[in-house]
Amino acid sequence: MAGDWIKVEKTTCRKPEVLHVAHTLNIHPDHALGLCIRFWCWCDDQLADSKCKVTPSVLNSSLGQSGFSEAMIEVGWLSESDGL
């Protein structure tokens, strides 16, 4: 665990993955970046072994954005196996 902070590189907002998530969800890239950061914070708090039993729809609901999990799977930043 990183403690109370998450390192975000200055180039993260322009990464192709963030831009793809934004395009897929039809949202502004800044919104996509914010969702990614909220997701990474959630992961840091909830995951001990990089695995959890949460479905994509539950994760989407908790972040308030339908399709987010699927977009993250498309860019390779999330994988699904018997749930997330």
pLDDT in tens, 20-66: 999 999 999 999 999 999 999 998 888 877 777 788 999 999 999 99
Contacts 24+ apart (CB under 8 A), 66-69: 67/24, 67/25, 68/21, 68/25, 68/35, 68/39
CB atoms within 10 A of CB 9: 8
The C-alpha atoms of residue 34 and residue 52 are separated, in whole angstroms, by 22
Position 74: which residue type? E
Whether pTM > 0.85 for this model: the answer is yes
pLDDT of residue 16: 97
